[in-house]
Amino acid sequence: MSYANKEAIEKINAIKSVLDSYRPFPEHVVTQLRDYYRIVMTYSSNALEGNTLTESETKVVIEDGITIGGKTIREHSEAIGHARAYDYIYSLLNRDLSGDDLLHLHKLFFQQIDPETAGNYRRVNVIITGTDYLPPDYLKVPELMRRHIENINRAPADEHPLEWASDLHAEFESIHPFIDGNGRIGRLLLSVGAMKNGYCPVIIPPVRRAEYITALQKANTGDLNKLRGFILSVVYEDMKSLKRLVENLRK
C-alpha cells in the first residue's frame, strides 16, 4: 500500500467511524438514501458512457416514466435498466454472489436494449476503443468469470477492502465479459464490494471520466496503484457526502 493510499484510507475510515456511530440508521433515512443513490448512480454511470440525460432528466424518466424530448430510446432504456439493476444489488450485500446473480444483473440492465444478448456472456471477440488492450477470447470468458466470482466472494486478509474492490473492478473490466454494459455492471459490482464492508456506494463523477479511463488502462498493463488511488479519492468524497446527508436527515 502506498503512503498516499494509506493516508486516504485513514481519512475515509475516520468518516466511517462517525457514520458507524449513527448506525443503525432510521428507516426513513435508509429509504431516502437508497432513492437518492438510485438516481445519482444511474445518472453518473450512464453519463460516463456517453448518455446525455441530465441528473434531473434521469430522475423524471425513472420515477415518473416520462420521456424526454430529443433523447434517444436507448438513453431512456439505459436509465430504466440501470435503476432496476441498482435495486437488485441490495439483495447481494449479505451473501456470496453467484454467476447467475451477475448474469441477472446484466439482464436487468440490458433487457430493453438488446433482449438477445441481455444476461449472457459475449459470444464474440471484442475490442475496446481508445486503447491497445485486447480483452480475452470469448471462449475463455466463462472460466475467467468463474474465477472472478470466486475472488469476489473471498475476503483478503492482507488488503484493505476498498483496494481489493478496486482490484476486482480492474479484473472485471479486463475480462469484459459482456458484449455491452461492462462499465455499468462493473461499477455496480464495485459499489457492492464497498457497501458490503460498510462504505458508501461508489459514484464516479462524469467530469473525472478521463482520469478514470487512464487509471483503468494502467490497470490493464498490471499497474493497479493508479486505479486504487483514484477509487479511494472518489470514495473519500462520496463518504463526506454521505455523512452530510445522514446528519441532515437525522435532524
Alpha helix stretches (DSSP H) within 53-160: 55-59, 73-89, 99-110, 141-153
CA distance 203 to 185: 13
Catalytic choice (76, 82, 148, 176)? 176
Residue type, position 136, single letter? P
Neighbours of 242 (CB within 10 A): 21
C-alpha cell at 82: 440501470
Write the burial class of residue 114 (CB in 10 Å: 0-12 exposed, 13-18 middle, 19+ buried).
middle
Alpha-carbon distances of 192 from 19, 40, 133, 140, rounded to whole Å: 18, 16, 26, 25
28 is catalytic: no
Residues carrying an active site annotation: 176
